[in-house]
Amino acid sequence: MAIANWPWKPAPDYRRLLAALRRQGSAVNAPFLELLADSEIIADVLGEPTVPESVAASDRSAMERLLDQKIRFWHGLGYDAFWQGASLVFPDLLSLDAEDTASLRRDRRRWVDENTGAISDWASFERYRWPRPEDADFGPMDYVAKHLPDGMAIIASVDGVLETAMWVMGYASFGLAIYDQPDLIEAIFARLEEILVPLARTVVQMDRVVALWLGDDMGFKTQPMIAPSHLRRYVFPIQKKLAAIAHQRNLPFLLHSCGNLEMVMDDLIDDVRIDAKHSFEDVIEPVESFAARYAGRISIVGGIDMDLLSRGSEERVRARTREVLEACAPTRAYVLGSGNTVANYIPSCNFLAMLDEGWRFNKGR
C-alpha cells in the first residue's frame, strides 16, 4: 500500500501530540511520531524518487524539493509534527562502509568508525576545525515552517552530547581517553557546550517549533556506553542546560537514546529533566514494561520493535502494535512509533501496517 492508496484522511493537530508529551493525552488514542525515515522509505511510500541528500546539501532548490517530499510524506500518513533541525557539520568524521543488503538498498551503508577519530590528542584537538553555532544552516527549518499544512509543527533538534564526542574521537579512543587524558575529554565537552547551547537557544525560537528533541545514543544492550559517573560528570550537565532552554519556552524536551539506560534513568528524569524517552528494544525491555514503571513521570515515544518491523509478518506487526497501544495508551503519555527509526531495511508494508493499526485503534475499530 502506497500513500496514493492510503485510506485515512490526515487531520493534523500538534496539540494532541503535545498533550501526550505532557502526559495529558487521550486514554483511547495515540498520536504518531518518528525520529527519522530513510529516504528509500519515503520514496517507496510516495511512489517517486526522492532528491538525494548529497544533491540537496549543495543546491537550495533541490533541498526545497526534498523538504516538500518530506512534508507530503509525514502529512499524508497522519503525523502532527516531524523532526527537523538546522544543518551543522562536524567535519572530518571518519567512517566505514559495507554493501547495503536492505530490500530498499542504497549504494553503500556507512557508519562512524568506532576505533579512531579526528581527535586523539591535544595537537589534533587544536587542529580540529570546530564548527561555530553561527555556521548552522537554518534555511531548512525556515522553509518547513513556511510550508507546513495547518495543524502541523516542527520538533527541533540539536546534535548529541556524548554521541558527538564519541564521533570526533572514535568510541574506543574516547573510552581510553576518559582515563588516560581526562583533561582532553573535559576540553572536548566544553567545546561542545559552546556549540550546542547557543544552537538550542536559536532553534527553540523558530516558527512552528513545539518541542526540542535531543538525539544522543548513550547505551548498548546491557548498560550505558560509559560509566554512570562519567555521564554525570561530562554529559548530563550539558543535556540539563539544553532541557532548561526548552523548558524556558514551555516546550517539551525529548531524548532519543539507544541502549539500556536503567542505571541512569532517575538522573535523566530528575536531574536532566527529560519529558519523554524514545528508542526501545524488546530484547532490552518491552515498551509496555517501561511505560508501566515510568509513564507517571515521563512520556514514552515509539517502541514497536525494529527486529519485528524488519523481519516479522504484517499480521504480527499489526498484532504487536495493537498490544502496545492497548497497554500504553491508557497512560495518557504514549506516542506511537517504531523502536528507533523507519530505516530502509524495514519493508514499507510493515511500517504502513503499524500506522494503519494505529489509525484503526484511534478510530475505535
Alpha carbon distances (Å) from 139 to 38, 285, 323: 21, 39, 40
Alpha carbon distances (Å) from 293 to 273, 289, 328, 331: 17, 7, 11, 11
pLDDT for residue 108? 84
pLDDT for residue 5? 87
pLDDT for residue 106? 84
The answer to whether 355 touches 77, Cβ cutoff 8 Å, is yes
Place of cell 539506560: 261
The answer to whether 171 touches 225, Cβ cutoff 8 Å, is yes
The pLDDT-based confidence of 54 (bands split at 50, 70, 90) is confident
Output the average pLDDT for the chain. 96
Residues 161-178: tens digit of each pLDDT: 999 999 999 999 999 999
Across 195-213, average pLDDT = 98
CATH number at residue 317: 3.20.20.210
pLDDT for residue 109? 84
Candidates 300, 235, 243; CA nearest to 270 is: 243
Q: What are phi and psi of 138, to 5 degrees?
A: -95, 0
pLDDT for residue 38? 96
Number of structural domains in the chain: 1
pLDDT for residue 346? 97
In angstroms, rounded to a whole number, what is the distance separating the alpha carbons of residues 79 and 91?
Answer: 33
The answer to whether 45 touches 348, Cβ cutoff 8 Å, is yes
Residues 122-152: tens digit of each pLDDT: 999 999 999 999 999 999 999 999 999 999 9
The pLDDT-based confidence of 1 (bands split at 50, 70, 90) is low
Domain of residue 179 covers 3-362
The predicted model scores a pTM of 0.96
pLDDT for residue 61? 94
In angstroms, rounded to a whole number, what is the distance separating the alpha carbons of residues 41 and 50?
Answer: 10
Decide if pLDDT at 359 tops 90. yes
